[in-house]
Amino acid sequence: MPITIADVAARAKVSKTTVSRVLNGKGELDESTAARVRAVIDELGYVPSSRAVGLARGRTRVVGMLVPSLAWPWIGEVLQGAVDVLETERYGLLLFTCNRGEESMRQFGAQVSAKSFDGLLVIEPEGTLDYIATLHRRGLPVVLIDDRDQTSGEIPSVGTTNHLGAGSAARHLLEIGRTRPLVISGPERFGCTQQRHAGFASVFAEAGHPIGADRQFLGDFTVARGADAVHTALASGVAFDSVFAHNDLAAIGAMQALLDAGHRIPQDVAVVGFDDIPTAAHTQPPLTTVHQPLREMGEAAARTLLAHFEGTPLPNRPTVIPTTFTIRPSTVA
């Protein structure tokens, strides 16, 4: 049977409250009594519940993280960045997904009510922003990661330079002589989609090559939609010499559709994605893409939360980590 705090109290001939005070360093205790309790703890091999000790101290040393799904290909990088920081500082991570919709959120809400974690990192599951904002207003420290530009600064966030990143993709295509890009966007309601579209389109417009409506396709960040957009453009006779997809999965779908149709990449059509997920370096040909600092974003969000626990106010403006541009053979042979 596991050793309990009652066993320690009985052997040391003190109350359970006294044992708890010794464990938590609280209250005025006679040093000889405290020494006797510590000796019994060592003798019995008692290991207190880290959660119970944390709650007694007013801190669980656990951070919650809410994400839409672990199936998103870039979430692993963000998660690893956060975990690296939390483990270094001896914090645990309690991970929640929304795979089961309302049921998942009910389970998450129960853990919030139980105060199972000290603060929350969020990659926003769609439709949960108002709820997350309410939790934050009620006192739960929250930091958003890749917040889609929807919070107006109410919730602290860590993001990246979507507008500038897309602009770098546009300049690269112009530099290699591609002036008729096919653009496969993300969902219109996302702030990152709006920023990437504006950043890319503005560079082409300034260069005298505005992007016509016939070369703009609404996507959903999936491989299938990337392929569908290219199939539709080819069937409609739309002339294009390059593809810019708002994420790597759509770019991978576009590449496959081009290759299936007999087009060479990059000789006939150059392809650029956005994210730089691990798969991007291993496509055929490897994919040129805008590199999102995913791991760094996770690290920065975790550091922001931990600093707050130590007394630093949460920032009232987004933390922005810039994108970089990674050139691979999908644009330069």
**What local confidence, expressed as pLDDT, does residue 209 receive?**
97
- Structure-model confidence comparison of residues 257 and 189, the more confident one: 257
| Contact of 92 with 86, CB cutoff 8 Å | yes
β-pair partners for 64: 94, 120
> What is the SS3 assignment for 269?
coil
Q: Distance between CA atoms of 192 and 203, rounded to whole angstroms?
A: 17
Show Cβ contacts of residue 329 under 8 Å, excluding neighbours closer than 6 positions.
Answer: 266, 285, 286, 288
Q: Is this structure's pTM higher than 0.85?
A: no
pLDDT in tens, 99-140: 888 888 888 888 888 888 999 999 988 888 889 999 999 999
- Structure-model confidence comparison of residues 3 and 79, the more confident one: 79
Q: What value does the mean pLDDT take over residues 289-293?
A: 97
Show Cβ contacts of residue 323 under 8 Å, excluding neighbours closer than 6 positions.
Answer: 160, 161, 162, 164, 165, 168, 290, 291, 292, 293
Label the pairing between strands 288-291 and 319-321.
unpaired
User: Which DSSP letter does residue 281 get?
Assistant: G
- Chain-centroid distance of CA 233 in Å reads 33
Q: Is residue 148 over pLDDT 70?
A: no
Label the pairing between strands 157-160 and 319-321.
parallel
Which pair of structure tokens corresponds to residue 12?
Answer: 């040391």
pLDDT in tens, 70-90: 888 889 999 999 999 999 999
